[in-house]
Amino acid sequence: TSGKALAGRHVLVTSGPTHEPIDPVRMIANRSSGRQGHALAAAAARAGAKVTLISGPVSIQDPAGVQIVRVETAREMLDAVEKHLPADIAIFAAAVADWRVADAKDAKIKKGQKGPPELSLVENPDILATIAGRKKERPKLVVGFAAETQDVVENARAKLQRKGCDLIVANDVSPATGIMGGGCNSVHIVSKQGVESWPSLAKEDVAARLVTLFAGMM
């Protein structure tokens, strides 16, 4: 073996947004760029891991040295994650849409006399909570992200509990921070043991540091 920190490990990463169809030409989407998740996948590969990156639709480059599985919807993302277990570490960096349209139409919805259509929404599966709650093939380390605009650490602690994961990487995505879609990130690592706050770093540097932290927990 190479002596690299994650040699022989399988790391699974979700990244990017999900797209939830309304009809064949319209969708619900969000502004996630996939940069942090893709940077994590690349950093894990550099650390010697076998990496499966399950990505929603993004416009950034594929990271080197990882297997990419492309999906669109939250349900496709969950299926892909389950299909690619077992993994030693699972990192859920995707911005999964919380809701999808209950009955997406097979044909384009026409603008009609009756005014705008009513869209009824249903909740998507929570991929992180589903995997963290598994009895069989639960990855040894399950990591979630929390994008918050207020009470960042408090909300992350609650999320850690609610979702049953081992770590939450929390960040403030208020528009003024420029984090969403930007190049830098300042994160708080929240675990049962406590909180560690890192300075603002390039997303690539956050990724490298996170991978070192995760490797130390194996």
Residues contributing to the annotated binding site: 98, 108, 125-128, 145, 159, 163
Q: Which stretch binds ligand C5P (CB under 6 A): 3-11, 23-31, 58-66, 140-148?
A: 140-148
Q: Are 20 and 99 in contact (CB under 8 A)?
A: yes
Encoded tokens for 119: 């869209």
Encoded tokens for 204: 């690539």
Active site residue 30: yes
Which helix (H) or strand (E) segment holds residue 163: the answer is helix 152-163
Helix, strand, or coil (residue 22): strand
Q: Are 181 and 35 in contact (CB under 8 A)?
A: yes
Among 145, 190, 203, 210, binds ligand C5P (CB under 6 A): 145
Does the footprint of ligand C5P cover residue 127 (CB under 6 A)?
A: yes
If binding means CB under 6 A, how many residues of this protein chain bind ligand C5P? 14
Among 34, 51, 58, 92, binds ligand C5P (CB under 6 A): 92
Q: How far from 153 is each of 100, 136, 187, CA to CA, in Å?
A: 28, 30, 10
Q: Which residues are annotated as a binding site for CTP?
A: 98, 108, 125-128, 145, 159, 163
Does the footprint of ligand C5P cover residue 94 (CB under 6 A)?
A: yes
- What is the maximal distance between C-alpha atoms in the chain? 68
Q: Smallest distance from the beta carbon of 34 to ligand C5P, in angstroms?
A: 12
Q: Which is nearer to ligand C5P, 48 or 90 (CB)?
A: 90
Q: Are 55 and 73 in contact (CB under 8 A)?
A: no
Does the footprint of ligand C5P cover residue 74 (CB under 6 A)?
A: yes
Q: Which is nearer to ligand C5P, 65 or 125 (CB)?
A: 125
Q: Smallest distance from the beta carbon of 25 to ligand C5P, in angstroms?
A: 24
Judge residue 68's burial from the number of C-beta atoms within 10 Å of its C-beta, 0-12 exposed, 13-18 middle, 19 or more buried: middle
Tell me the residue nearest to ligand C5P as measured from the CB. 127
Q: Which amino acid is at 7?
A: A
- Give contact residues for ligand C5P (rule: CB under 6 A): 14, 74, 92, 94, 96, 124-128, 144-146, 159
